[in-house]
Structure 1
């Protein structure tokens, strides 16, 4: 049975991006179902599939998996050959820790710098709490790259679930022109250059639905 991933708007839905990017980048076949976040019946449509009433949701036969981190773990169990996590136990433990830290933290940055792929690259001021998040994130990236990333361009060399979890942060750093160190800047470039991310962004730029809470210049909507 083909997996079905239910997602929200590609321009805005950072949580939807994470499993979609992982599955696409790692060659895990699935069907996509997009439910616009501003649809009048959004809650009803999603609650019919998931008790959380949020996207993303993965349908795998009788299994219903919600929350991006849970979806990634489900994929790792279902497709052990796909490299969802690094094969080395030490690297895998580190990658899972990084991914969990992303899932549970960095709220200051996420609250003031929503993912918005069609916004032109343009700097804006941020509170110190958000900039502290940036410094913590880029320090984590540098540590992972130095210890585990010598075999490729991503945190653990080859693309894995940890990269999927941090991909939305990479978009935020670019969209809002946040200055980072050279290692972090190279990683941001690697995420944006990945064919799976390129495909997601191309689709995002064709969307028309606008969400005020994710447009920091509202009521002006800036588009590339």
Structure 2
């Protein structure tokens, strides 16, 4: 399989399936496209009809675009990996919090974009972004307390963790105040070898998008 992604420094949606596949040991070839350039749309359209990344190209040549759709496809193809929790109640909970991440937290997304190379403690802390952060803190704290950690749904990394990993990257950049439970979860995700690999690649990138390089 092939996974088409954008800049590791900026592309939060690309990080989600990339990390899920790396963490689960699913083999794939990586196709990286620099975002925001004149040639970017044409390059992405070779693989993704939505003209957006990420996009998974299956062994059969089928394009699967959008992070959650890719994750669901992988869960179907590799049921033995338990990319969702095996327990039905926990699985429904995991799908709920993953979908909340997928469709929500717009204030956080717009005010605190992902820039792994940057360190902007306290920047862009709009009321809406802070409200989103409080909700995310509550989700993480509740899940870790209910399922025992260190991941959101117990001992195993799931799609829900992949969905929230780019939020951890944002929190590393903007350093909002978090509860101890949420802070511990963020530290655990940051320390994962696959996450460290992503971060180190982002730090080596030289491509810059000026609109994401200056905090408001």
TM-score (norm 1): 0.92
Correspondence for 2:131: 132
**1:73 and 1:56 mapped to 2: Cα distance?**
14
Aligned ranges 1:1-224 → 2 under 5 Å:
3-60=1-58, 61-120=60-119, 122-148=121-147, 150=148, 152-157=149-154, 158-217=156-215
- 1:114-161 per-position Cα deviation (integer Å, ceiling 9, x unaligned): 11111125322411111000001111111111112x1x4110121111
CA contact (8 A) 2:95 2:160 kept: yes
**1:169 and 1:128 mapped to 2: Cα distance?**
17
**2:139 and 2:211 mapped to 1: Cα distance?**
28
TM-score (norm 2): 0.95
Mark the CA change 1:125 to 1:11 in structure 2 (over 3 Å): closer, same or farther: closer
Q: Which runs of 4+ in 1 moved over 3 A?
A: none
**1:122 and 1:65 mapped to 2: Cα distance?**
36
**1:217 and 1:132 mapped to 2: Cα distance?**
19
- Secondary structure of 1:16's counterpart equals helix
- 1:29-67 per-position Cα deviation (integer Å, ceiling 9, x unaligned): 111000110332110111121110000000002321000
User: Which blocks of at least 5 consecutive residues in structure 2 are unaligned?
Assistant: none
User: Which blocks of at least 5 consecutive residues in structure 1 are unaligned?
Assistant: 219-224
- 1:175-200 per-position Cα deviation (integer Å, ceiling 9, x unaligned): 11101000000010011000000001
CA RMSD of aligned residues (A): 1.2
Q: CA deviation at 1:211?
A: 0.9
